[in-house]
């Protein structure tokens, strides 16, 4: 019999896990992560909420890049890490899967009890009337209104944004809300924007009911995720993490596996 890993023992010993996932989980699905092994940005930091809401030019640039980036995101399929975590839920071991990812790949793999902490990229929200509509419908409109932009290819980012350097975005047409004419924004939490409080509170209630926490593929550099590790540590619940490289919570971890998410969780498949 193969010897079990410390991580397998950790999972075996717990009844209900509070699972927090990040970009590292989706790397093998072709969605790159944001940060290198030292937790520093690999690419220019993403657009902020304040810049997006304040400047039409920022929105043109965002949607032009997203027109390109969305093609990759919508083609992405779950990998072994997503499948392993869906299996953990089937085993009754998952109290909640709280994900910082906006790609919906956990749901595509079969996880049902999921909170999308930072929202979902396949939805668009009107900042005027709150109407939510499918990103795919906006994609069709973006393509119809901007035929000259369809041939662009670029490097895509985890939030569906893409690197397009030295491009003039001034003639890019950005659709407005068809109901109220308001500003359309992807239904994701931008940098500089707060996670909606009810969403945080719902996740915290799940943490109360969990007996341990498992972090999968996150450097925890963003406070919205890190605060759950702090809360788990305060409550005396052990925290294990799978991450290639440093995390902000290294000093709080009971166990750390410096492996890819798929490899570390392979014992579940
Ligand atoms: Zn509207």
Cβ neighbours of residue 256 under 8 Å, at least 6 residues apart?
Answer: 240, 241, 242, 243, 247, 250
Averaged pLDDT in 10-residue chunks for the chain of 269 residues: 86 97 94 66 77 96 88 92 98 98 97 97 97 96 91 62 73 96 96 95 98 97 95 98 96 97 97
CA distance 215 to 63: 31
CA of 176 to the centre of ligand 1 (A): 8
Give the per-residue pLDDT at 4: 87
Give the per-residue pLDDT at 154: 58
Give the per-residue pLDDT at 148: 84
CA of 180 to the centre of ligand 1 (A): 4
Would you call 176 helix, strand, or coil by DSSP? coil
CA of 136 to the centre of ligand 1 (A): 17
Give the per-residue pLDDT at 92: 97
In DSSP terms, 169 is beta-bridged to none
Give the per-residue pLDDT at 188: 94
Tokens of 24: 């590292």
CA of 208 to the centre of ligand 1 (A): 37
In DSSP terms, 155 is beta-bridged to 163
Give the per-residue pLDDT at 160: 62
Give the per-residue pLDDT at 6: 97
Task: Kindly list the protein residues that place their beta carbon closer than 5 angstroms to ligand 1, a single-atom ion.
Answer: 126, 128-129, 131, 177, 179-180, 182
CB atoms within 10 A of CB 197: 8
Query: Is pTM, for the whole model, over 0.85?
Result: yes
Give the per-residue pLDDT at 48: 93
Which are the catalytic amino acids?
A: 118
Residue listed under structure tokens 């779950």? 78
Cβ neighbours of residue 243 under 8 Å, at least 6 residues apart?
Answer: 22, 24, 215, 216, 217, 218, 219, 256, 257, 258
CB atoms within 10 A of CB 258: 12
CA of 119 to the centre of ligand 1 (A): 18
């Amino acid at each position: 019999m193969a010897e079990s890993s410390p991580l397998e023992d950790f999972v075996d010993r717990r009844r209900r896990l509070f699972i927090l996932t990040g970009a590292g989980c989706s790397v093998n699905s072709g969605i790159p992560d944001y940060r290198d092994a030292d937790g520093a940005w690999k690419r220019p930091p993403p657009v902020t909420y304040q810049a997006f809401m304040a400047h039409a030019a920022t929105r043109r640039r965002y949607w032009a890049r997203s027109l390109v980036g969305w093609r990759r995101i919508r083609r992405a399929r779950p990998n072994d890490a997503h499948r392993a975590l869906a299996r953990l839920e089937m085993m009754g071991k998952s109290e909640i899967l709280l994900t910082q990812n906006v790609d919906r790949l956990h749901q595509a793999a079969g996880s049902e009890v999921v909170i999308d902490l930072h929202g979902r990229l396949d939805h668009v929200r009107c900042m005027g009337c709150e109407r939510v509509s499918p990103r795919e419908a906006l994609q069709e409109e973006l393509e119809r209104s901007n035929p000259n932009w369809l041939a662009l290819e670029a490097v895509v980012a985890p939030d569906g944004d893409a690197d397009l350097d030295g491009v003039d975005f001034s003639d890019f047409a950005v659709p407005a809300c068809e109901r109220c004419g308001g500003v359309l924004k992807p239904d994701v939490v931008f940098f500089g924007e707060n996670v909606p409080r009810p969403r945080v509170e719902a996740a915290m209630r799940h943490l109360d009911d969990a007996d341990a926490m498992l972090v999968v593929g996150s450097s925890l550099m963003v406070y919205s995720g890190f605060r759950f590790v702090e809360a788990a540590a305060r409550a005396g619940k052990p925290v294990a993490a799978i991450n290639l490289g440093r995390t902000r919570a290294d000093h709080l971890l009971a166990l750390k596996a410096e492996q890819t998410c798929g490899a570390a969780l392979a014992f579940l498949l």
